[in-house]
Each structure stands twice: as structure tokens, then as C-alpha cells.
Amino acid sequence: MTVAQSAKPSSSNITVTLKRLIALLEEDETDEYGVLQPSQSAFKLAMRFVVEAYEAMGDSFPRASASTDEKGSIRLTWSKLEPECEVRLVCPTDADRQVYLYHELGDTYAVEQSVTVSNLVQWLELSNYK
């Protein structure tokens, strides 16, 4: 199954998330603060996580915001106010650096260093992003 086949309406959460990721590639390459475009490695990794999480979650996949840091890493953020929670997936610039997952639910938060699609999906479902 491909995302193009399964993403039906243009406003679905997966479509919005993918458009936000692709928009990062359309940024200027750099500005006075650093790199604006993501590295190819970070982009491919973020796309893989998003597509595989969507395949696991289907229409319950929540939309994420996407941004880069000054080095070209990608940060995908899912957040909501009720209950107050946030999940952040950080895909590093270099393939030899580790992906990490930050999750916060109320006053409890942690960072996971061994990130899999399964534990990303677990945190998105636990945080009830619907």
C-alpha cells in the first residue's frame, strides 16, 4: 500500500503531514541562522517513519507539524491541549546519528533513544491524538 493510494481527501492528517514535510524542501537552503532545508538523510528517515506509522494507524494517524534545526535535522511534533501532551520525533542530519523520540503527558516526560515505528505509534495512540 502506498500513501498516494490510501490518502483520500487532500485535508487528511497524512496528507497535511506529508505536505508539511515536502514544504521543508522548498525552503531557501540557508539563512543567517543556519540551514533551512533538511538533509536528504533526515528527510528520507522522517518520510519512512510517517508512512510506516500511517500504515499502522490508518485514519487515526494524527497530523504533525514539521520543522528543521540549524543543521538540517527534522523535528516532527504532535501536540494537543486536552489532555496536555506532546510527542516529538527528531530525525538527525547525519545517518550515523541516532533518531530520538520525546514524549510528554501532563507532568511526565521522557526521551527514547531506540526509536521504532512501533514505539512512535504506541505514544501517538497512548496520547490519544484523534
Which pTM was predicted? 0.84
User: What would the pLDDT profile of 13-22 be if each residue is shown by its tens digit?
Assistant: 999 999 999 9
Q: What is the pLDDT of residues 29-86, one digit of tens each?
A: 878 877 789 999 999 999 999 999 999 999 999 999 999 998 999 999 999 877 788 9
Classify residue 68 as exposed, middle or buried by CB count within 10 Å of its CB (0-12, 13-18, 19+).
buried
Q: Which residue has the cell 501517538?
A: 124
Instruction: Kindly state the DSSP code that residue 82 receives in the 8-state scheme.
Output: T
